[in-house]
Amino acid sequence: MRKSTLHILFISIIILTACSTGKQALKHGDYHEAVLQSIGRLRQNTDSKDATAVLKKGYPLAIEDSKRKIDRSIAGTDPMKWNAVYQEMTKVNHLADEIYHCPAALNIIQKPMEYQASNLDNAKAQAVKELYQKAKSYYDLGGRENAKIAITELERLLVFEPGHAQANQLLQQSIERATLKIVVELLPYEHKKYDLSDLAFRNEINSHLAELDRRYPYIRIYTPEQAEKANLKPDQVISVDWVNFNVGNTNNKQIERTVTSADSVKIGETTVNGVVYPVYNKVSAKLNINIMEIISNGKMIVQAKDFQTQRVLSSQTPAGSYSWHYEWGSYNGDERALTKEELSICKNKPPVLPSPQFLFTELTKPLYDQVASWFDTHMRKYQ
C-alpha cells in the first residue's frame, strides 16, 4: 500500500508541474516562461481561469521586457549587443508562434507581436559579424586556449550562417592551432640474451592510444611513420622504451611432512559374537611436495619531450614482476589422509619449464596498466 501511495503522489506531482498555469513564473518576473506555461495549460484546459489570467497579464509584460532589453542593447557598447538583440527578437516571435498554434490563447491575444523577417535578418547579420570579430580577435591572440575559444564562437556563427566562407576557413585554422600533435614511438624490445617479441604489448598500447585519440578532440596522435609521411612537425614526442628484462632466479623448495586425515575412516572390520562390525580410525601418509618458482622482472621508461626544445615534459619508469609458480609431489601411505588440494598436487607431473617469451608476455600485462594510466593522465593534462 505504501509503495502504491508514493507512486500515485509522484505521478500527481509530475502532472501538476506539467499543468502549471505560470503563476509562479509570473510572480518571479519570468514573463516569457509564464506565458509559455499558460499556453501549455490552455491547450489542456481551454477554460482555465488561472492560465487565462496569467496570459492576459504576462504577455504584455513579456513583450515590454523584450523591447526594453532590445533598446538597451542597441544603445549600448557591448561588442556582442546584436546577439542579445537577435535572441530577444526570436523569443518574441516564438511566443507569437505558440499563441497562433493555441486557439484558446489566440482568443485572448488576438494580434501577437512579431518582428518582420527583414528585421530578424538584419539583426542576425549583425550578430554574425560580432561572432566573427570575436573569434578572429581570440585567434589573433595566438595559443591553443585562445584558438579553442575562437572555435566555440565560430561554431555558434555557423549555426546562423553555415555557408560563411571566412568563418569556415578560420574554423579550420583554429582547429589546426588548437590541436596538439603528438608522435608516439613504441620501441621494440631488444636484448642480446633473449630473442623476444613485445608485439602483444605494443598492440594493446596502440589500441589504447587510438581510443584516446578519439576521446580528445584537440589531440592527434601519430606513429613515427605517419609523421614522416605527412612531413609533420609535432608539438611533442613520446617514447616508450625497455630498460631491462630479467628472467631471474629459479627457486626450488621441497616440503616433507606426515599428514593425518581430518576424520576417522574405515580401516577394516572385526567380528564380535558372529556379527561383523566396521573399524574406524584416522589414517596417515608421508607427503612430499616440490615447489618451483621463477620470478621475472622488468622496467620501462616513458618520456614526453617538447619537440622544439627537447625539454622533458613528463616521464615515468613503470616496473613490475611476474612470478611463475608450480607444485607437484608424491605420497606414501593412505591417500585418504590427503586433502583434495594435496591429492591434486600429487597428480601433477614434473613441470615443463615456461619459455622466456611466455614469462616476458606475462610480465608486460602489469606494465601495460601503468603505461596506459600514464598516457591517460598526460593526455588529459594537455587536452
* Percent share of the chain, pLDDT over 90: 81
For 181-202, the pLDDT digits (tens) are: 999 999 988 876 778 888 999 9
Per-residue confidence (pLDDT) for residue 13, from 0 to 100:
42
* Higher pLDDT among residues 227 and 16, named by residue: 227
The pLDDT confidence band at residue 211, using thresholds 50, 70 and 90, is very high
Nearest to 153 by CA among 122, 215, 140: 140
Question: Mean per-residue pLDDT for 330-335?
Answer: 93
Decide if pLDDT at 120 tops 60.
Answer: yes
CATH code of 180-383, in short, is 3.30.160
Per-residue confidence (pLDDT) for residue 194, from 0 to 100:
76
Question: Mean per-residue pLDDT for 254-274?
Answer: 90
Q: CATH 3.30.160 region(s) of the chain?
A: 180-383
Question: Mean per-residue pLDDT for 293-319?
Answer: 94
Question: Mean per-residue pLDDT for 166-186?
Answer: 96
The mean predicted confidence, pLDDT, of the chain is: 91
Decide if pLDDT at 175 tops 50.
Answer: yes
Decide if pLDDT at 46 tops 60.
Answer: yes
Per-residue confidence (pLDDT) for residue 88, from 0 to 100:
96
Per-residue confidence (pLDDT) for residue 192, from 0 to 100:
65
Per-residue confidence (pLDDT) for residue 292, from 0 to 100:
94
Ranges 6-10, 142-146, 375-379: which has the least confidence: 6-10
